[in-house]
Amino acid sequence: MASPDVSFLQMGPSVDEATPLCEGLLRARLRELRESAAELRGMRLEEVAESLEAVARLWLVPGSHWMRRAGVEVSTESGLSAGVVEEHLRDFLSRITSGALSSLVRAELGSEEPFRVRAHPRLAASRAWCPPALTAHVLSSTVPSLGMEVIVQSLLCRSPALVRTSTNGRCATRFFLLSLREAAPRLARHVSVVTWDRESPFLAVTAEFAPVLSLWGSDGSMESMVRQLPATTRVLRYGGRVSFSVIAARAETPEILDRLVGGVAEDVALLDQTGCMSPHTVFVLGARWSVDEVAEALRVASTEVASRLPMGELGEGEGAERAQALGVAEFKYRVLRGPITSVIHGETGFHVSPGRRVVHLVPCSDFDTLIASLQSLKYRIHSIGLYCERVDQSAFLRRFSELGVSRVCRIGRMQRPLWLRSHDGRPRLADVVNWMDVEPPDETTS
């Protein structure tokens, strides 16, 4: 199927339209999804989880035409290389197994099915989770797997999903819905994927039908969207965040350095620093290695990573902005160019990367200096890739928690989160559903 046949479809539960979205079509999609809610609520977790695993297998089988098409067409619309797109999707989809999904539901929601009262051993009241009649997800230009993630999230919550993709992030989500129709047509009837321009007045229309909306994008765009919504809409906000790495080594051995810079190269290369988990800055804490030594080791490691995960093509405007940023950096700092370009600093501070494999290497004399330099980022930090001695870990985590950090992981895993965990420090499923406290009935009730 040619790219325009997919990327411009307004995909409904029963009918697709290759046409710009209009209010009448959107209302029909929303109404149909809400009417399907009762059927979805009646589906057991086992059926939902096994169906989603079957979809993932379609993508993961060697030579999968779904993966091949996504690699080519998502690359065209995003500027990421096909190799990076496929590696990113493969990492996400490999976690979509029936056992893992069922475990996530039980861990976050308690019971596998909605409206089942779950008694608390020490409290008088019990709780039951209730699926929203419809959940809408409004996505910005973001990582390719996000549309897939929110579809899985909604279906596990037994809530029909409307997913709005951005105009330049259409394909992966639509391919996923097409594959869902192939592997699990009964489940696919509860998902719709549409696209509208940011200026279109369709958000308020969506809120008339969807009691829960998840919004993804910059903080500014989110504030603008929230102003369009009624006060009764429950809004889940996922705004802009930044990430960085910290290397705090006590022992100076070449093997450790090689492993660490290999992980940094992986974190920088996967998605070309387009996601909120991509490191902008690497802080080199203490005096075990100089930032120049780290930069040289990273240059060597980045050559190997680039052979597996080639960088995508730069758009004309993007290339000019990156070149300008590097020109300014060369005037103020030292720059070591390579498959990953290092900007080498002399003073401690966080720096935003221009993207596309440019990372700032920053020295830091001690832990207090590091924390002081990060105060302006309070509650805006998504992930920290951390290498430290085990004895120091608690101290790092305690101070990072004061900054509102959502996630700490090992270097080399920043772009490979354990998806079946929280996002931005918040639960994947428990935030979506409605919770009802159920107190014991009167003892005289039969």
Tens of pLDDT, residue by residue over 140-156, are 877 899 999 999 999 99
Q: Which residues pair with 407 in a beta bridge?
A: 383
Q: Examine the domain organization and report whether 152 and 269 are in the same domain.
A: no
Indicate whether 8 pLDDT > 80. Answer: no
Supply the pLDDT for residue 445: 53
In a domain, 446, yes or no: no
With both helix axes pointing from N to C terminus, report the angle between 98-109 and 146-156 in degrees, rounded to the nearest 10.
60
**Residue 55 DSSP label:** H
Identify whether residues 329 and 216 lie together within a single domain. no
Quick: pLDDT tens for 252-303. Answer: 677 889 999 999 999 999 999 988 899 999 999 986 788 999 999 999 999 9
272 plus 233 within the same structural domain: no
Helix 23-35 vs helix 202-209: crossing angle, to nearest 10: 20
Radius of gyration of the chain (CA): 23
343: in domain:
yes
Q: Examine the pLDDT at 322 and tell me if it is beyond 90.
A: no
Report the pLDDT value the prediction gives residue 189, as an integer from 0 to 100: 95
54 inside domain:
yes
Tell me: do 380 and 432 sit in the same domain. Answer: no
Q: What percent of the chain has a predicted confidence (pLDDT) above 70?
A: 93
For residue 223, pLDDT over 70 is answered with yes
Inside any domain, residue 369:
yes
- Let me know whether 200 and 230 are in one domain: yes
> What is the reported pLDDT for 3?
45
Give the C-alpha separation, 143 to 429, whole Å.
Answer: 20
Q: Place 36 in a pLDDT band, splitting at 50, 70 and 90.
A: very high
**First CA to last CA across the chain, in angstroms?**
61
For the segment 178-196, the average pLDDT, to the nearest whole number, is 95
Length reported for the chain: 446
Average pLDDT over every residue of 391-408:
93
Q: Is 136 helix (H, G, I), strand (E, B) or coil?
A: strand
In this structure, are 230 and 263 located in the same domain?
no
Residue 176, domain CATH: 3.40.605.10
Q: 161: which 2 tokens?
A: 């999903």
How many domains, in total, are found in the chain? 2
Question: Which of the four pLDDT bands, split at 50, 70 and 90, describes residue 47?
Answer: very high
> Do both 143 and 291 map to the same domain?
no
Predicted pLDDT of residue 297 = 94
Give the position of tokens 């105060």. Answer: 375
Domain extent for 59: 3-239+424-438
pLDDT at 121: 58
- Residue 445 inside a domain? The answer is no
pLDDT of 282: 97
pLDDT beyond 50 at 2: no
Mean pLDDT score of the chain, rounded to an integer?
A: 90
Query: Quick one: CA dihedral 176, 150, 30, 238, positive or negative?
Result: negative
pLDDT of amino acid 119 = 64
Q: Which residues pair with 212 in a beta bridge?
A: 135, 234
Torsion, Cα of 165, 353, 72, 189 (10° steps): -20
Same domain, 207 and 299: no
Strands (E), 222-268: 234-238, 242-248
Q: Which of 18-27, 205-214, 225-234, 420-429 has the lowest mean pLDDT?
A: 420-429
Which of 230, 268, 251 has the alpha carbon at shortest distance from 413?
268
pTM: 0.92
* pLDDT of 420 higher than 80: no
Torsion of CA 36, 39, 43, 48, to 10 degrees: -20
Lowest mean pLDDT among 61-70, 159-168, 246-255: 246-255
Distance between CA atoms of residues 217 and 202, nearest Å: 17
d(CA 146, CA 391): 36
Residue 415 lies in a domain: no
- 419 lies in some domain: no
Of 123 and 216, which is predicted with more confidence?
216
Which amino acid, residue 375? Q
Q: 143 and 94 in one domain?
A: yes
Task: Report the alpha-carbon distance of residue 258 to residue 256 in Å, rounded.
Answer: 5
Taking residues 48-56, report their average pLDDT: 97
Over residues 109-132, mean pLDDT: 81
Confidence band (pLDDT; 50, 70, 90) for 167?
confident
pLDDT at 419 over 80: no
Provide the 10 A C-beta neighbour count for residue 105. Answer: 22
Based on the fold, state whether residues 223 and 294 are members of the same structural domain: no
CATH number, domain at 351?
Answer: 3.40.309.10
Residue 143, SS3 per DSSP: coil
The lowest-confidence range among 80-89, 172-181, 222-231, 261-270 is 222-231
Do 259 and 327 belong to one domain?
A: yes
Measure CA 392 to chain center: 29
Spell out a b/e string for 270-290, using b for 16 or more CB atoms within 10 Å of the CB, else e.
bbbbbbbbbbbbbbbbbebbe
Same domain, 122 and 163: yes
Query: Average pLDDT for residues 108-127, to the nearest whole number?
Result: 78
Tell me, yes or no, whether 15 lies in a domain: yes
- Distances in Å between the alpha carbon of 246 and those of 14, 43, 124, 334? 50, 45, 46, 20
pLDDT value at residue 180: 97
Q: Environment class of residue 231 by beta-carbon count within 10 Å: exposed (0-12), middle (13-18) or buried (19+)?
A: exposed
